[in-house]
Chain A
Amino acid sequence: MISLFNYPPTEEQIWILMKTGTGSEIGLLWLRILTILLMGIVFWFWFNKLRTVASVKSSVISIILLVMSPAVWGIGWSYPLMVVKLVLVLCVVTFLKTKWWIILLVLVGLGFYNVSFLKQNPAILSKITMSDARNEVNNRFMSEDTLRIKMELPLMWRRIGYNKLFITYRQVLAELLPFFDLETLYFQEVHPMEQKSVVLFYWPEIFILIFGIYFWVTSKLKNDSNNILVVLLVISFIDFLFSNTVLYQRFILLLIPLSLLMAYGVEKILVANRYVGAVVGVVLLYATYVNSYDISKRADFWLDNRPLVYQYWYTGIKPLGVENFEKIYVSTLIGSSQNYCWFYLGDICKTDKFVFNSFNLSTGNIDNGLYAGFAGEFVGPKFKNDFSSDWDSQLPAKDLTLISKENIRDTVAYKYGNDIGLVIKK
């Protein structure tokens, strides 16, 4: 059974293991432990910084709320480069004064880090170039001009509203509005669109946030405390804007100021009434338990399915014996096949026995060998991604033998189905 703890490595982890030459399960475990330790050390520094601007109680509660967050664990366990980003930001905020030029440097650094190291392509950059705006303006005019029955509005009037500059402003706003997404932040457990994201905060914590905001705006907090909060909110906002990755990772920096606000709320509740505070604590502990249980049962629901695909293929290839095949073809529909191969099978992946490319066995001649791919690569892609469960019954007609197949939860290769398999052509 797949759980968070035995979840296969992510591409980021593979990349680091390749750089350090420690491609094995042990190496992965060490990487994970080191990453968690790194996060722990940073939280410790952050806690000490927080103590200088807020009460000890708030500081402790803030750290506890962060540690309880599944998103923090998810990132700590699988995304070391994201943890490095967290480390860098918290170090700056902890050890340096929050002067405007330092903050500006941090923001520029974040943008550079996201684009260069994390290889993200923030959507907002394409909006600023106005190419999308031009397309939208044209589309609007064309669409409206096709109406046979319509109100006649002067062209000049329409141009005031539909122009590249304004549409760019609108598109930029559309990029920053998702930052204000309560559903992703607090209701991921019951999200109406069942979007793919790890839980950031549990839903009962929304009420603690409301308390926290109330006490923040009505209390006379120290300037330093206010400054830290505002600075972190701005940093997390800019990081969100200039990132392009799985949703919960875009919000990771926002967890810190929100946890601080919630900590204020919890502290005030405890001061007002210990018993109510105890109830809050019990509810949050139960929420943590429920979500831990959920992840233990449905890790593939919460986490990226692509590592599971590679794990299936390569752990399936190994017992068949790599030496028994002239060629082994592995799909590249979902990214860096070769790196995963190296992790599971070692240096043999660098030989020409392995061919890393997507394929289509439904047409043309099929070379002998072992094929690891998606259903659509074996029987042909389908536009609507609607493959029947017995798609493999088509294989014998082409002298193909199915070794094994498995269904994955998410659609990671649209048009190619949710089934993955190992097939031999002799």
Chain B
Amino acid sequence: MLYRTAGQFKTSYKADQALFPVKQDAILLGVILVFAWVVFPLAASEFTFQTLLIPILIYALAAMGLNILTGYAGQLSLGTAAFMGVGAYACYKMVTLMPWMNPIVAILLSGVFSAGVGVAFGIPSLRIKGFYLAIATLAAQFFLVWLFEKWAWLYNYNASGAIQVPNLEMFGVYVAGPQADSLVQYYVVLAIVSVMTMLCINLTRGTLGRTWKATRDVDIAAELIGINLMKSKLTAFMVSSYIVGVAGALFVFMWRGAAEPNLFDIPLSFRILFIAIIGGLGSILGNYLGAILIVGLPVVLGTLPAALGVPIASSMVEHINVMMVGALIIFFLIIEPHGLAQLWRLIREKLIIWPFPH
């Protein structure tokens, strides 16, 4: 009876287009937001911030960016990590060239650079489709990582070839760098990711969202009903790469603290693709569910055996983790190809009619 929607009538299209037409959804979201903004920050340890909360949010954001491109607009990309790299390096250059710059502004601006690069590498999508395009995005992946390594200006000619996040201050508080507090960083990440999620929800449910989905489902029909495919695909690349770039800047500035070029190599691209797919392509919620699973699994695997009194070497944990993720991907694809979000949708449908069978 908890999820009963009967009796909640809509009297205007405006009400029907509200973000949460069903009251219970709004309540559930409210509870989650209270946990995210109040309960977790009060209760979480340094370990929880660094291994779960912050990375889950950042990975969810990166997956959301990819999901716009692949899940909504139907353009499979295997180069996500490289675009995260563009965001991270752009942010690094901005804060080192212009140290007076507000760090959050720098992070949000760094997405502009990755959006530009994303559009450039999106141009082939106008001629190339499907797997051919996926391979083409690998060109971006390999070329950009090579560039991060060879273009010394990007990392300010450091001998190490890596970028180190300097201490960055905002209103007298360190928000990035070695002296920044995890709690502060968590709030910065949470705020940015929340706002971006909101914008993504709006974009995907409106005109642009329908344009993308039409392009994804039947591109020829989409063009014949008046959709400019070039515009549709390139805006998808632009929006997607922007979000991915911001996620990349957060990844380095709010979490890792430093980065080498190979951090943005293909395994990271795949990890984000898994999150998007296991979470559910064409879903915003799914990115969070997928990120919780992919980020949470190694933590559980790493702490559970010790808690049970069966110590396993950390390298073994890593190997088991890789294997488990592989098995889980196959498992989820078999039981629900549309991902965790779809699973939740089905559960919710059941809850709406519960306790009656129909």
The reply to whether chain A is a binding partner of chain B is no
Interface, chain B (partner A; CB < 8 A)? none
Interface, chain A (partner B; CB < 8 A)? none
